[in-house]
Structure 1
Amino acid sequence: MSDDQPVPQWSPTPDDIAQAQLTAFTDFVTTRTGIAFPDYAALWRWSISDVPGFWRTVWDWFDLGKERGAVLTEQPMPDARWFPGTRLNYVDHVVRNARTDQAAILVPTEDGALREISWDELLTRTATLARSLRSMGVGSGDRVVGYLPNIPEAVIAFLATASLGAIWSACGQDYSAHAALDRLGQLEPLVLITCDGYRYGGKIHDKRDAITTLRDRIPSLRATIAVPHVGLTVFESLSWDDVANYEAGTPGIDTVAVPFDHPLWVLYSSGTTGTPKGIVHGHGGVLLEHLKALGLQSDIGADDTFFWFTSPSWMMWNYQVAGLLVGATIVCYDGSPSYPAPDMLWDLAARTRATVLGTSPAYLLACAKAGIEPRREHDLTALRTVGVTGAALPASTSLWVRDRVGRQVAVSSISGGTDVVTAFAGGVRTVPVWPGELSAPYLGVALDSWDERGHPVRGGVGELVVTRPMPSMPVMFWNDPGEERYREAYFDTYPGTWRHGDWITLTSRGSVIVHGRSDSTLNRNGVRMGSADIYHVVDSLPEIEDTLVLGIEQPDGGYWMPMFVVLTEGTELTEPLRRRINQIIRNTVSPRHVPDDIIVAPGIPHTKTGKKLEVPLKKVLQGGSPSRVVTPSAVDDPGLIDWFATVRRPRN
């Protein structure tokens, strides 16, 4: 992909820059250091050259209290230790934002209702639930788990758990009992917090059988607490209203101060190739990173409504909850983004007066193909940013947001991961947005692009690496003696440097282009290519619903690069359509990206968080047994794996 100089689709106005929290922070840094920063790039360079100085400044800017001792010791990764001797609790920095003039949480539903959770209710229920958990014997280091949809009770359960110094973990109820057990069961939790079911697509999904399975299969449980969400009765459980009641005059939250790196929550790898890895993050690292990412990078503050369409299974749920750390109102929605109409998410944004709305490239592309005009059909005058993650955002879809949502709306495409529960790069309020690109690396992220020998790559495709530690890197993997799996996951390829597993290009203007996962690399004649570049152009065709490209090394030394397409209803793969697909790839990306074969598939399997199963399916097509290569419970449609196992290379 060429590194020319495209025209930005959005540029900050002088007022945007003057009013941005980042501008005030930059002035604060200048006053402290005596260094002038002419632009964001200069500030970023300082933030990665003086890592301890940067994070101490973030700490002071957000007034996090008195830190003790050094900011960072043992800097070589993965042995970095942050703020040793400092004690804190994530929940204290939610409590300090309590207010009476706006809601803490908005709760819209598919049927048009909109409920508000006040800050008083949020904190009162958190306090009473924390006391109930303590009475059940839950203390610092114990585990409380949630099997819940994206409802406010999930937020309250997390805050109550964290306030005690206990460890929270959750997955959404779209996960089967088996998939939830693979994740939550390994923690040996004391308490399960759940609900009777959830509403999605106009239907009630009864989850009581799954709850029974979890309760029966996790012997460590002392209690199950059930939220009456859809009007069903969960037997042999405690009532949510009894253990998290809301009464005026309830005493405040009694938080437990814990070490900076004390576990806050456990998130999980996709689990498509085995038992999901439990990724543990600490109180202090998450607090610092999320304040920076939301307050400085995204310019989210007390006047904002922050709405990301997500689930407790996905790190973006944790990321959205962090809106409470900066005093924003957050939105909990457990319904469909496309029911009862394809533009439901835009309707929700209008109803909640969202200022920052988060979604996926797939949803935006579906809206574009459906001919939806959000700015004409909904009042989006409050909206200033559309956040996008989960996959690379094509330039054409980014431009659709400009033209159909609003030219005043900035697109913040972000890329990071569950591993650091944040973004490495994304939108910045003071930096332009270029179509199909992430505007800049985030402050404090020593992002680089390396070749296989560890040499920097500029203007071409390289491995995404992070060369200096970040406070939200995992404190450990669960059940990983000696940190063997942790070190293997990120530090084996380049010792002392974090390799994330994405292909990126760093442009001359400081932006970042993401090409897809490097562990599913397409490699023709020694030229490495990212599958996302193909998806960008093919998925824009109205006849195509979904796409998957794989590079298969053959036993005879050959190389086969098939593309699987899911066609829209009523479409056939005619020879003219086949030629048009190949031509648009050839003209828009390169001749090397043209697939060897185009094969119609009944569907493309994804992880529960929407990522295509490129690596497992490559192994299946190379002859691997589906039962050994893929864990069915981690896949949205496991039956599709068997179909891919029947695929053979066509004889041309």
Structure 2
Amino acid sequence: MTAAGHEVLWTPPPGRVSASNISRYQRWLAAEKNVETTDFDSLWRWSIGDVETFWRSIWEYFDVIASTPAQTVLPDRRMPGARWFPGAELNWAENLLRHTDQTGPAIISVDETGATGELSRTDLVAQVANLAAYFREIGVRPGDRIAAMLPNIAPTVVAVLAAASVGAVWSCCAPDFGVKGLVDRFAQIEPTVLIGVDGYQFNGKRIDRRDVFTALLDQLPTVRHAIVVANLGLPLEGAHRQDVADYADLVVGDAQPEYEQVPFDHPLWILYSSGTTGLPKGIVHSHGGILLEALKANALHYDLGRADRVFIAASTAWVVWNMLVDVLAVGATVITYDGSPTFGRPDHQFDICARYGATRFGTGAAYLTLCEKAGTRPGTDFDLSTLRSIMSTGSPLPDTTWRWVYDAVSADVHLGSDSGGTDVATGFIGANPLSPVRVGELQGPYLGVDVQAWNEAGAAVVGEVGEMVITEPMPSMPIYFWNDPDGRRYREAYFEVYPGVWRHGDWITMEADGGCVVHGRSDSTINRGGVRMGSADIYQAVEALPEIAEALVIGAELPNGGYHMPLFVVLRDGYDLDEALTEKIRTTIRRETSPRHVPDDIIDVPAIPTTRTGKRLEIPIKKLIQGVAPETAINLATVADTGTLDWYIDYAERLQHNRARSSTPS
């Protein structure tokens, strides 16, 4: 990072610091535990130096509801295999639904048409209780799986809470998935209940998904009961019509709340790996682990409480949706959204923040950059006076976008770039209310997360690029992978490189000022001439150019021992990739990064392929370039738009043809 990379954009005002949840927690620690901390760094160092006391303090400070408290916190901290709070019994849903004494909605529902709905705390508890009673009536037992094909709407929140209330294991995919993608995931877990939706809204269109729902019923033989949510009011037709219960009928009644008390490590939900190159892995999290992380992250890192409203236009296939539901743990209001995030205008999401008084807005880094490049000024066009914080996640945020937020959105907003993942349903590094916000840096590690950057010798380094590792267990680490009885796939995913230490697969730099810089995935790292480079560094340089909309860089080792590094760019309207622009791109990369980052070829492409959660398909495209067959290199069910792959498949075939010709003796 250059000196500009450490430029301070925002410093939390003293009054805001002293009134923050984390400052109150520090004062409680001093009074109750005799733990004195002066700033975030000292608090973090204490939290990783005394892991058991830290997590016990989270339990006590937030007064976790548990029918059976734990006597010990972490009797064995080996990874994998660490077991948290053995003997404790609780329920995640019960703790999320405890805030019934406050006024204001629990959920605000928004869609593209402008239609809105509200669900009070009392009504949410009642609907959850009635749906949970139905689950019990049809024989759902703790550990049974409930699968759902639902969008980001209020009934999805009700359903996950009801499933957890009876101890069932929840698993949800977005309704834009195809049948194969859904079956690839749900068939693994053998659900007994399937909840589907008749359709959803997107970009002004009503998308009918009744055929997908009925196809799932045909292809999932373990499903004994089915429920449909009439999101669009479309009648279910065909052979299954009489066998499917109507969600609206199931959430009314006079059932009383009842929460199955389960062990701390009882499975809560199954999330899925991207599955870009194979069958998605089922990642299983626990009731207790997710609850403690939800309390810690939302209260102490995001500074959320009962007065807050949180808006994230997240697909239910993205872990960020699960994190949105988790804000209920601190009494905040959830704002759900069914529709296109850019409906009508690029800054549509900021309009929603203004209309519904969002105090926190979560989104992907790519969306903020889109708004920047579109020339929007949300702070001028909308009343964002309630907005206190923005979470950017999914990929590194370019330096220009950091500055754009403070120029075009608000000079007094807490912008936090967070890095974590589906693996832990939280962050490893990201925002906190005490530290300054610097361009290009995540503010620091999360409390209780012993994150380090390791060099090739396995030594921690500061100010240098290294592998991101976690050296102490976290409660929300997966309890296991589904259908992995001996734990082999789990160990291979995180612990194969450094036994006993979690390797996440990102290149990071831990800065001397306490901040962190994420450079991109280490498994898609560019390794040119023995020098490793993060793709994010190249994207930051290239996508800052006004001519470039998006970019994709690949570093591919070739069978003949060579190395091919193309840069694919999507141009903005009105520009051509002529010789002058090509040289401008090369010069920019050389100046902003290094000569080694300059690609072999710069190629104009129609689109950049991404996963359904917006991540660039670096590894699958790399495999295509290396000669791997498309059906082996890419799992199409994970791709947002499969049509974007056609160009790259043709390109890879041309490369293979040219290599074959050049290797044939004349």
TM-score (norm 2): 0.95
- Once the two structures are superposed, residues 489-512 of structure 1 have per-residue CA deviations (whole angstroms, 9 ceiling, x without a partner) of 000000000000000000010001
- Which of 481, 487, 508 is 1:477 aligned to? 481
Find the aligned partners of 1:506 and 1:14 in 2 and give their Cα distance: 26
**Alignment partner, residue 32 of structure 1:** 32
**Alignment partner, residue 56 of structure 1:** 56
**Alignment partner, residue 201 of structure 2:** 199
Displacement after TM superposition at 1:600 (Å) = 1.4
Out of 217-226 and 67-76, give the one that drifted further: 67-76
- Once the two structures are superposed, residues 299-338 of structure 1 have per-residue CA deviations (whole angstroms, 9 ceiling, x without a partner) of 0110100111201101000001011110000111011121
CA separation of 1:109 and 1:99: change in aligned 2, threshold 3 A: farther
**Alignment partner, residue 561 of structure 1:** 565
Displacement after TM superposition at 1:22 (Å) = 0.3
Matched residue SS, 2:402: helix
Displacement after TM superposition at 1:583 (Å) = 1.4
**Alignment partner, residue 208 of structure 1:** 210
Find the aligned partners of 2:165 and 2:47 in 1 and give their Cα distance: 31
Find the aligned partners of 1:90 and 1:19 in 2 and give their Cα distance: 28
Displacement after TM superposition at 1:6 (Å) = 2.6
Displacement after TM superposition at 1:554 (Å) = 2.3
Pairing 1:399-478 to 2, within 5 Å after superposition:
399-478=403-482
**Alignment partner, residue 238 of structure 1:** 245
- Tell me if structure 2 keeps the 8 A contact 1:357–1:387: yes
Find the aligned partners of 1:291 and 1:574 in 2 and give their Cα distance: 53
- Once the two structures are superposed, residues 76-109 of structure 1 have per-residue CA deviations (whole angstroms, 9 ceiling, x without a partner) of 1111100000000001112211245200011122
Displacement after TM superposition at 1:570 (Å) = 3.6
Displacement after TM superposition at 1:543 (Å) = 2.0
**Alignment partner, residue 21 of structure 1:** 21
Pairing 1:179-198 to 2, within 5 Å after superposition:
179-198=181-200
Find the aligned partners of 2:454 and 2:363 in 1 and give their Cα distance: 30
Pairing 1:195-594 to 2, within 5 Å after superposition:
195-235=197-237, 236=241, 237-245=244-252, 247=253, 250-594=254-598
- Once the two structures are superposed, residues 520-549 of structure 1 have per-residue CA deviations (whole angstroms, 9 ceiling, x without a partner) of 011122111100111112122222221100
Instruction: Check if 1:90 corresponds to 2:97.
Output: no
Find the aligned partners of 1:219 and 1:568 in 2 and give their Cα distance: 48
Displacement after TM superposition at 1:33 (Å) = 3.5
Number of corresponding residues: 649
- Tell me if structure 2 keeps the 8 A contact 1:3–1:508: no
Displacement after TM superposition at 1:351 (Å) = 0.8
Find the aligned partners of 1:490 and 1:452 in 2 and give their Cα distance: 16
Pairing 1:102-251 to 2, within 5 Å after superposition:
102-235=104-237, 236=241, 237-245=244-252, 247=253, 250-251=254-255
Displacement after TM superposition at 1:436 (Å) = 1.4
Matched residue SS, 2:486: helix
What percent of counterpart residues are identical? 48
Find the aligned partners of 2:565 and 2:503 in 1 and give their Cα distance: 25
In structure 2, what residue type is equivalent to 1:193? Answer: I
In structure 2, what residue type is equivalent to 1:244? Answer: V
Displacement after TM superposition at 1:637 (Å) = 2.0
Find the aligned partners of 1:400 and 1:293 in 2 and give their Cα distance: 26
- Once the two structures are superposed, residues 464-484 of structure 1 have per-residue CA deviations (whole angstroms, 9 ceiling, x without a partner) of 000000000000000001100
Displacement after TM superposition at 1:227 (Å) = 1.0
Displacement after TM superposition at 1:376 (Å) = 0.7
- Once the two structures are superposed, residues 229-280 of structure 1 have per-residue CA deviations (whole angstroms, 9 ceiling, x without a partner) of 11211232211121122x5xx2431110000000000000001111100000
Displacement after TM superposition at 1:21 (Å) = 0.5
Instruction: Check if 1:74 corresponds to 2:81.
Output: no
Out of 32-41 and 309-318, give the one that drifted further: 32-41
Find the aligned partners of 2:563 and 2:5 in 1 and give their Cα distance: 34
Matched residue SS, 1:72: coil
- Tell me if structure 1 keeps the 8 A contact 2:309–2:333: yes
In structure 2, what residue type is equivalent to 1:415? Answer: S
Out of 492-501 and 548-557, give the one that drifted further: 548-557
TM-score (norm 1): 0.97
In structure 2, what residue type is equivalent to 1:407? Answer: A
- Once the two structures are superposed, residues 96-137 of structure 1 have per-residue CA deviations (whole angstroms, 9 ceiling, x without a partner) of 112452000111221223221111221111111011111111
**Alignment partner, residue 627 of structure 1:** 631
Find the aligned partners of 2:247 and 2:553 in 1 and give their Cα distance: 47
Matched residue SS, 1:319: helix
Displacement after TM superposition at 1:196 (Å) = 0.5
Find the aligned partners of 1:619 and 1:371 in 2 and give their Cα distance: 36
- Tell me if structure 2 keeps the 8 A contact 1:395–1:437: no
Out of 285-294 and 116-125, give the one that drifted further: 116-125
- Tell me if structure 1 keeps the 8 A contact 2:415–2:437: yes
- Tell me if structure 2 keeps the 8 A contact 1:441–1:447: yes
- Tell me if structure 1 keeps the 8 A contact 2:5–2:438: no
CA separation of 1:611 and 1:5: change in aligned 2, threshold 3 A: closer
Displacement after TM superposition at 1:356 (Å) = 0.4
Matched residue SS, 2:453: strand
Find the aligned partners of 1:360 and 1:28 in 2 and give their Cα distance: 34
Matched residue SS, 1:81: coil
Find the aligned partners of 1:285 and 1:35 in 2 and give their Cα distance: 24
Out of 229-238 and 365-374, give the one that drifted further: 229-238
- Tell me if structure 2 keeps the 8 A contact 1:586–1:593: yes
RMSD: 1.5
Matched residue SS, 1:225: strand
Matched residue SS, 1:123: helix
In structure 2, what residue type is equivalent to 1:433? Answer: V
- Tell me if structure 2 keeps the 8 A contact 1:388–1:414: yes
- Tell me if structure 2 keeps the 8 A contact 1:365–1:540: no
CA separation of 1:160 and 1:5: change in aligned 2, threshold 3 A: closer
Find the aligned partners of 1:151 and 1:56 in 2 and give their Cα distance: 34
- Tell me if structure 1 keeps the 8 A contact 2:268–2:287: yes
Out of 441-450 and 112-121, give the one that drifted further: 112-121
- Tell me if structure 2 keeps the 8 A contact 1:110–1:340: no
Instruction: Check if 1:606 corresponds to 2:610.
Output: yes
In structure 1, what residue type is equivalent to 2:270? Answer: V
Find the aligned partners of 1:642 and 1:228 in 2 and give their Cα distance: 36
In structure 2, what residue type is equivalent to 1:350? Answer: A
Find the aligned partners of 2:249 and 2:641 in 1 and give their Cα distance: 38
Matched residue SS, 1:350: helix
Matched residue SS, 1:128: helix
Out of 97-106 and 624-633, give the one that drifted further: 97-106
**Alignment partner, residue 615 of structure 1:** 619
CA separation of 1:479 and 1:5: change in aligned 2, threshold 3 A: closer
CA separation of 1:306 and 1:382: change in aligned 2, threshold 3 A: same
CA separation of 1:29 and 1:3: change in aligned 2, threshold 3 A: farther
- Tell me if structure 2 keeps the 8 A contact 1:3–1:459: no
